[in-house]
Structures are given as structure tokens and as C-alpha cells.
Copies of this chain bind each other. A is one copy, B any other.
Amino acid sequence: MRGALALVRTARSLGATVWFANPGTTEMPLVTALDEVPGTRAVLGLFEGVCTGAADGYGRMTDRPAVTLLHLGPGLANGLANLHNARRARSPVLNVVGDHTTWHRDADAPLTSDIAALAGTVSAEVRSSRRPDDLARDFAALHARVSASPGCVGTLIAPADCQWAESGPPPAEATLPRPEPRQPPAERVAEALRRLRSATRPVLLVGGLALREEGLAAAARVAAATGARLVCETFPARLERGAGRPAVERLGYFPEQALAQLAGVDLLLLAGAREPVAFFGYPDAPSRLVPEGCGVATLASDAEDPRPALRALADELGAPVPRGPDAPRPEAPASGPLDPASLGAVLAALQPEGAVVVDEGATSALPHFVAAAGSRPHTWLGLTGGAIGQGLPCAAGAALACPGRRVIALEADGSALYTLQALHTHAREGLDVTTVLCSNRRYRILQVELARAGVAEPGPVARDLTSLDRPPLDWVALARGQGVPAARAETVEAFREELSRALAAPGPSLIEAVL
């Protein structure tokens, strides 16, 4: 059988059945192989950033890698920003990047570029197959690598001739490598216990897989038994939250906010999180956000699965499951002007149980995050790597991963425009994604940054480069133009009505919320 078919069969054996693809000539043998292997699903993205962002969302929601199928260096390059986010999210993602035939590489044809260098910037491992027989084996090795908990990004460079030429059969299923869990050594639990017992104002900083239900439950037991505050990283990949789930304080975005939250703390115990650092460097703020005199101990690093260690620690402490008061159930205003606060309150009140909220709402979304603490239980996905254009693609992947759950893409207009082609995927696949498009017609965060830098009156260039209103974008047209039903809301009443309608209907829709 051809090398391409051996690869796709091996992927199927490993459970990697969803392919987010934008193939070109050098991937055609893999495309035809996908037709020969029942049980695989190929989803076309009309820009590679859609494919990689969708794979990130799929990986976050299933803990299994989706495969991206990308065309040479430029195709991979178009997907890099969302692979950067996936790397920061520790999502399992496996890229298959077609390459020129092995004997054509030296010709330096127009589409030739350094694929390995590009892939290396986001991948824990890059493999480049040399013979047809390599393809399935390299895929399987990368699959095991990226599938460990927490996951990572891996990239397979697959020359076209390796795909089309005859290879041996795929490796026997029993011989395929399997992921090995990444868990902290046992002595970390005892050390954490010792440090917690000698601390007077400890914080348990949770991130990564500690923010899944079982991780949070164990963390809440530890917090209740020790008096530690439970704080989560600023941009979690996936946070389970809402009524009945442990309340977690979120670390602030700006360094002065985080430093104020951590003032007086004498121990930071890390569980799946890294030592906090500022998002950006500022003239008068430190990089490292650990207060002076505060000790740091690591129960589990961000590269490890903190859940077993958290459970062991909670058991050592004999900690019962705490029953704290739930956050107040959000109440939606009935009328009034639409602004981030009212929008957030309406959304928090109406979002259904089991919703997956993909939050790329930037400055417009924070009130929703606060209000939704008491919403029905839901999953929240954050912008881990800061590379905008993640939300709409990630929502597509989450929806494909979780049929039956409503996905809500809470989007900023500037960010959404980066990868608006994802709306076509929402329509094409009939995904239950409701996009709430916060249209404030500006890169608001940059205007905030200008003010923070002391620029009280930005000049015309600074105003122009941070404004999206010349001309304003018509999001209803942009969504309908790609097959997604859309409506505009300028008041709370209209937003309530449109949101209720959208959440009740199957399939995708977009509401342009004019703020």
C-alpha cells in the first residue's frame, strides 16, 4: 500500500480520526487516502489558521490530538499563530505538513522554504520522513509524544513521494507506541505538605489540567484544609466553572493587578501552573510577579499532570470536600444600553448548562467572566498565547469535539477579523456555535496601553492605527457572506432577543453586539 494510506490507517488505529485540512498539490496522496479509510472525518478550513485553531479547540476538549493537514512552508506559516496558542495551552496537536518530493527539494522550487525551522518554533518535536515506510512510524511516534497529559504540538514533514510510493503495511496496532503520563515524582507531595504547614498566607496557584473538574475538586479540598487561597493563571486553556464548582480567583492581567492580589502572600504552591510573569515588560514593573519574600514550591509544573498529586495532597491532609456558597446566579438586565457589563450579564444568565465559552472578547469580555462565576456549569477556554484570531477557529474545533453542547464564541471584532474564514467552517459543518461579536470598532487594549504609557492625547497616527471605524465593519454581512445567519443588536432588549433565538436554534449564528 502507499505510504499515505499506511499513515492514515495508523492514525485511525490510534484514534486520530479528525483532520483539519487545507491541502495542496503535495498532500493529494493523503487526501485520496482519507477517502479509503472509513471512520475518518476531514474538515476543510479556508485558511490554515482555521485548521490549527480548530485542532487546538478539539485537543482541549478531548485530550486527543486532531491532525492538521497543511501545505508546505507557507501553509504551515499561516497556521503558526494558532499553533503558538496551542503550544501555550499544552494542547495535543499533530501537524502533517506535505513537502516536495525528496528528490525535488534541492531544486529550490518557488514554494520551497525551511519547513523544519518554522515547525520548530511551535513543536516539541519535528520529524521529517525520508522513505515511504517512515510515514506511519513517524506519525505514531509523534502521536505518542503529543498525546501525553499535558499534551504538546508535534509536526511531521511528509514528502509527496513518500506519500505516493509503495510502503510496507502499517505497524501492527500492538506495536504502536503509547503516551506516557507526565506526572510529578511522589516526593513533591510531602514537600508541598511541609511548605503549606509552615506558611501563614499561602496561595495555591492552579493551571493546566488542575482546572479540570477532578483537579479543581482536589485543589479546593487542599485550599479548605490549609487556608490557602485558590488562584488560577490569567489565561487558562480550559477552566471548568459555574454553579456547584469550586470558586477560583483569576490572576489579573496587568502586573500591578497581579502584584496587588499576591501582596503579603508567603507561599505560592504551583499546581500545573508556572511562576507568574507579566504579559509584557513595562518601565516600572517587574517581569516576575512573585512578591518579595514569598516562597515558591512546585507540586506539579505546567509540563506535568497535577491531578494525581493534588488528590494525594488532599488525602494526606484528610481534607473533606468543601461546600462553599455558590457565586450569585447572574441576573440579566431587561433593558438599557448595551455595553460590556450588560452584555456579559445577559450572556451569563442565558448561556445553557454545559456551554463551552471560547473567550477572545479581550477588553469587552471581562464582565462576562465575572458574572458567569454563578452561571450554570460550563467550560471556559482562554487565549493562552495572546495571538489573536484564535476564538472562531477554536470554537469550531470545540463544537466538533463536543456534539450536543452549545459553543459560545465571545469575540472581539479586531481579533475575529484575523480568522473570520472560520465562520465558513461553522456553516459548512453545521456547528452549534453562537458567536457573540463585541463590536467596539477599535483595538481597545492598545488604546489602554497608550494611556498607561502616559500618552493622554494620542496623535492622528496612533488613533488611526488603533481604530477599526474607517469604514466600520458590517459583521452581519461578513457572516451571511459565509453562510452564517446573523443579526445586529444595539440594545439590551435586542441582544436578549437575538441571543435567546440563537441559543435555541441548531447550527451556527452570529450576533453583532454594537458596543
B471 near A281: Cβ-Cβ < 8 Å: no
Hey, what's the 0/1 contact readout for A446-461 against B, CB within 8 Å counting as 1? 1001100101001111
The 5 A-B residue pairs whose C-beta atoms are closest, nearest first, are: A35-B459, A104-B281, A101-B281, A477-B481, A471-B483
Known: A287-B107, A480-B477. A31 touches B461 (CB 8 A): yes
Interface residues of A in 73-97 (CB under 8 A from B): 73-74, 77-78, 80-81, 84, 88
Q: A81: which of B74, B84, B120, B446 is its contact (CB, 8 Å)?
A: B74
Contact B25 A74 (CB under 8 A): no
B residues near A34, Cβ cutoff 8 Å: 461-462, 465
Question: Chain B residues near A478 (CB, 8 Å)?
Answer: 477-478, 481-482
Q: Which B residues touch A218, using CB under 8 A?
A: none
With A and B bound together, what is the CA distance between A470 and B46 in angstroms?
A: 12
A28 partner, pick from B117, B384, B450, beta carbons under 8 A: B450
Instruction: Please name all residues of chain B whose beta carbon is closer than 8 Å to the beta carbon of A29 when the two chains form the complex.
Output: 453
With contacts A42-B464, A446-B23, A465-B23 known, is A385 near B111, CB below 8 A? yes
Tell me if B28 and A100 are in contact (CB < 8 A).
no
**Bound Cα distance from A309 to B424, whole angstroms:** 51
Nearest B residue to A74, CB-CB: B387
Q: How many residues of A contact B (CB 8 A)?
A: 98
* CB of A69, distance to nearest CB on chain B (Å): 8
B103 with A32: CB separation less than 8 A: no
Q: In whole angstroms, how far apart are the Cα atoms of A278 and B111 in the complex?
A: 11
Q: What are the residues of chain B within 8 A of A403 when measuring CB–CB?
A: none
Which of A88, A100, A113 has the largest number of chain B CB atoms within 10 A?
A: A113
Copies of this polypeptide in the complex: 2
CB closest chain-B residue, reference A69:
B465
In the complex, the chain B residue whose C-beta lies closest to that of A471 is B483
Q: Are A278 and B109 in contact (CB under 8 A)?
A: yes
A interface residues, Cβ below 8 angstroms from B: 21, 23-26, 28-29, 31-32, 34-36, 40, 42, 44, 46-47, 49, 73-74, 77-78, 80-81, 84, 88, 100-101, 103-104, 106-111, 113-114, 117-118, 120-122, 160-161, 164, 235, 277-283, 287-288, 384-389, 414, 417-418, 420-421, 424, 427-428, 445-446, 449-450, 453, 455, 458-462, 464-466, 468, 470-478, 480-483
B81 pairs with A77, CB closer than 8 A: yes
Task: Give A120 to B279 CA distance when docked, in angstroms.
Answer: 25
Known: A468-B46, A481-B474, A482-B473. A281 touches B161 (CB 8 A): yes
Closest residue on chain B to residue A470 by CB atoms: B428
**Shortest CB–CB separation between residue A414 and chain B, in angstroms?**
7
Instruction: List the B residue with the shortest CB-CB distance to A102.
Output: B281
Given contacts A23-B465, A35-B460, A280-B26, contact A88 B107 (CB under 8 A): no
Whole-angstrom CA separation of A283 from B36 in the bound complex: 21
**A281 contact set on B, CB distance < 8 A:** 100-101, 103-104, 107, 109, 160-161
